[in-house]
Amino acid sequence: MRAAVLYAPKDLRIEPVAAAPLGPGEVEVRIEAGGICGSDLHYYFDGGFGTVRLREPMILGHEIAGTVARVGTDVASIAPGQRVAVNPSRPCGACRYCAEGKQQHCLDMRFYGSAMRFPHVQGGFREVLVCDATQAVPVPATMSAAQAAFAEPFAVCLHAVNRAGPLLGKRVLVTGAGPIGALTVIAARRAGALEIVATDVADPKSVANLFAKTKEKFGRLDVLFNNAGTGAPGTINLEDLTFEQWQSVVNTNLTGPFLCTQEAFKIMKAQSPMGGRIINNGSISAHVPRPNSAPYTSTKHAITGLTRSASLDGRKYNIACGQIDIGNAASGMAANMNAGMPQANGSIAPEPTMDVQDVARSVIFMASLPLDSNVQFMTVMATKMPFIGRG
Ligand SMILES: [Zn+2]
Ligand SMILES: [Zn+2]
State in Å: Cα 111 to ligand 2 middle.
12
132 and 234 in a single domain? The answer is: no
Identify the nearest ligand to the CA of 105 by its number.
Answer: 2
Residue 21 pLDDT greater than 70, yes or no? yes
Residue 334 pLDDT greater than 70, yes or no? no
222 and 154 in a single domain? The answer is: no
Residue 311 included in any domain: yes
State in Å: Cα 182 to ligand 1 middle.
14
Q: What CATH number corresponds to the domain at position 47? A: 3.90.180.10
256-270 and 204-218 helices, crossing angle to 10°:
30
* pLDDT reported for residue 104: 81
374 and 360 in a single domain? The answer is: yes
Residue 204 included in any domain: no
Phi-psi sector, 121: left (phi>0), alpha (psi -120 to 50), beta: beta
371 and 305 in a single domain? The answer is: yes
Q: How does pLDDT run across 235-286, given as a tens digit for each residue?
A: 789 999 989 889 999 999 999 999 999 999 999 999 999 999 999 999 999 9
Position with higher pLDDT, 175 vs 8? 8
* pLDDT reported for residue 301: 97
Q: How far apart are CA 182 and CA 157, in angstroms?
A: 9
CB 49 within 8 A of CB 140: no
Q: How far apart are CA 262 and CA 348, in angstroms?
A: 41
Residue in 212, 205, 195 with CA at minimum distance from that of residue 264 = 212
78 and 159 in a single domain? The answer is: no
Residue in 313, 307, 317, 254 with CA at minimum distance from that of residue 279 = 307
* pLDDT reported for residue 263: 96
Question: In the chain, what is the straight-line distance between the N-terminal and C-terminal CA atoms, in Å?
Answer: 54
Q: How does pLDDT run across 297-321, given as a tens digit for each residue?
A: 999 999 999 999 999 999 999 999 9
176 and 224 in a single domain? The answer is: no
* pLDDT reported for residue 232: 87
pTM recorded for the entire structure: 0.69
State in Å: Cα 48 to ligand 1 middle.
14
Identify the nearest ligand to the CA of 62 by its number.
Answer: 1
Residue 67 pLDDT greater than 70, yes or no? yes
Identify the nearest ligand to the CA of 183 by its number.
Answer: 1
Confidence of residue 332 (pLDDT cuts 50, 70, 90): low
Residue in 273, 272, 282, 271 with CA at minimum distance from that of residue 310 = 282
CB 126 within 8 A of CB 31: yes
Amino acid at 226: N
Question: Cα dihedral angle (167, 171, 172, 177), rounded to 10 degrees?
Answer: 140
Q: How does pLDDT run across 129-172, given as a tens digit for each residue?
A: 999 999 999 999 999 999 999 999 999 999 999 998 999 999 88
Residue 213 included in any domain: no
* pLDDT reported for residue 292: 93
* pLDDT reported for residue 244: 87
* pLDDT reported for residue 333: 60
* pLDDT reported for residue 158: 95
**Domain span including residue 169:** 150-199
Residue 383 pLDDT greater than 90, yes or no? yes
State in Å: Cα 152 to ligand 1 middle.
7
State in Å: Cα 91 to ligand 2 middle.
5
State in Å: Cα 122 to ligand 2 middle.
19
State in Å: Cα 115 to ligand 2 middle.
18
Average pLDDT over residues 74-94: 94
Query: Three-state SS for 184?
Result: helix
Residue 335 pLDDT greater than 70, yes or no? no
Identify the nearest ligand to the CA of 40 by its number.
Answer: 1
State in Å: Cα 117 to ligand 2 middle.
14
State in Å: Cα 268 to ligand 2 middle.
53
Identify the nearest ligand to the CA of 104 by its number.
Answer: 2
State in Å: Cα 107 to ligand 2 middle.
5
100 and 42 in a single domain? The answer is: yes
Identify the nearest ligand to the CA of 102 by its number.
Answer: 2
Q: How far apart are CA 382 and CA 356, in angstroms?
A: 10
Identify the nearest ligand to the CA of 123 by its number.
Answer: 1
State in Å: Cα 7 to ligand 2 middle.
29
State in Å: Cα 96 to ligand 2 middle.
7
Identify the nearest ligand to the CA of 39 by its number.
Answer: 1
State in Å: Cα 114 to ligand 2 middle.
17
7 and 38 in a single domain? The answer is: yes
Average pLDDT over residues 204-218: 91
Confidence of residue 391 (pLDDT cuts 50, 70, 90): low
State in Å: Cα 37 to ligand 1 middle.
4
Q: How far apart are CA 24 and CA 27, in angstroms?
A: 8
State in Å: Cα 170 to ligand 2 middle.
37
If one counts the domains in the chain, the total is: 3
Residues with CB under 5 A from ligand 2 (ion): 91-92, 95, 98, 106
Residue 23 included in any domain: yes
Residue 386 pLDDT greater than 70, yes or no? yes
Average pLDDT over residues 67-76: 95
142 and 20 in a single domain? The answer is: yes
Amino acid at 153: P
For the chain, give the mean pLDDT.
92
191 and 282 in a single domain? The answer is: no
Identify the nearest ligand to the CA of 63 by its number.
Answer: 1
Confidence of residue 18 (pLDDT cuts 50, 70, 90): very high
Q: How far apart are CA 263 and CA 256, in angstroms?
A: 11
Residue 6 included in any domain: yes
Residue 388 included in any domain: no
